[in-house]
């Protein structure tokens, strides 16, 4: 039997209690889901199946990547529960990997309070209905960022069509799907914040190159003081190659988008265009 240090024992107990309270279902510990894959916790709640893998320190279990993909193909949601202490750089790296694979992340704070940083792909919000005839705006930013959802809602309010990759039924690698959706959208909105993600970097650079005059790029003011080199490079690229706007918070962004999107549409589509 594996021996755990006291910190891990408490982390495991608190995680179990959290899951029991949240889902109210029978929790199976170290149960083989299929050959060679026995995660920490497995819960079946109605038709929903979820797997929870504890990680302390918060590093992605690369030895289980193939098993995770197989579980997702079977419709099982995958979550990592991470313990938060002095490993912030590790958390950033882990979130980047989880974004790519559609793995959810739940963070256990030092106070043993739990917060869902991002849902598993099986728990993504319901898909958006695509209304033909509306101008399509692909929105690029860190998933689950309040400003991103705010941009989506304000576009809907003003009768435009937001295109958010997590709200569409897509197959294939997420980066390939995003590039395809950018190409198919009339316009592009990029929202840059200190919560840097490499896929957002690629999307913004690609959009500026392919449809520069049809891009709206917004940079949150606190991103300008970042110490992240890649984020600095992205901001420098945007400042050199595109028109950008500064914003302070979600409400600030929602206030600007209606006017900017209307101006953008007006420059590229006349009233007589079909």
CA pair distance 268, 260, nearest whole angstrom: 13
DSSP string, 180-247: HHHHHSSEEEEEE-SS--HHHHHHHHHHHHHHGGGEEEEEEGGGGG---HHHHHHHHHHHHHS-EEEE
pTM for the predicted model, two decimal places: 0.81
CB of 230 closer than 8 Å to CB of 198: yes
How buried is 147 (Cβ within 10 angstroms: 0-12 exposed, 13-18 middle, 19+ buried)?
A: buried
pLDDT the model gives residue 86? 65
* Per-10-residue mean pLDDT, the chain, length 274: 72 96 92 91 93 93 92 93 80 86 93 93 89 96 92 96 86 78 97 92 96 96 95 97 96 97 90 46
Domains in the chain, CATH or no CATH each: 6-123 (3.40.50), 136-268 (3.40.50.450)
Convert 167-201 to b/e letters by CB count within 10 Å (16 or more is b): beeeeeebeeebbebbeebbbbbbbbbebbbebbb
């Amino acid at each position: 039997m594996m021996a755990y240090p006291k910190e891990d024992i408490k982390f495991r107990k608190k995680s179990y209690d959290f899951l029991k309270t949240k889902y109210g279902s029978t929790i199976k510990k170290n149960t083989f889901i299929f050959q060679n894959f026995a995660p920490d916790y497995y819960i079946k709640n109605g038709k929903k199946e979820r797997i929870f893998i504890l990680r302390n320190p918060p590093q992605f279990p690369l030895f289980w990547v193939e098993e995770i993909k197989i579980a997702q193909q079977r419709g099982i949601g995958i979550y990592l529960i991470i313990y938060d202490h002095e490993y912030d750089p590790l958390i950033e790296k882990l979130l980047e990997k989880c974004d790519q694979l559609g793995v959810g992340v739940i963070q256990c704070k030092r106070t043993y309070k739990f917060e869902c940083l991002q849902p598993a792909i099986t728990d993504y919000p319901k898909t958006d209905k695509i209304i033909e005839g509306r101008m399509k705006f692909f929105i690029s930013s860190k998933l689950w960022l309040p400003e991103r959802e705010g941009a989506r809602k304000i576009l809907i309010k003003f009768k435009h069509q937001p295109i958010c990759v997590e709200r569409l039924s897509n197959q294939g690698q997420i980066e390939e799907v995003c590039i395809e959706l950018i190409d198919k959208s009339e316009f592009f909105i990029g929202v840059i914040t200190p919560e840097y993600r490499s896929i957002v970097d690629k999307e913004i650079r690609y959009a500026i190159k392919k449809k520069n005059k049809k891009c709206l790029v917004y940079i949150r003011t606190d991103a300008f003081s970042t110490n992240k080199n890649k984020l600095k490079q992205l901001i420098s690229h945007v400042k050199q190659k595109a028109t950008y706007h500064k914003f302070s918070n979600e409400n600030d962004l929602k206030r600007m988008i209606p006017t900017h999107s209307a101006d953008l549409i007006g420059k590229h589509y006349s009233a007589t265009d079909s």
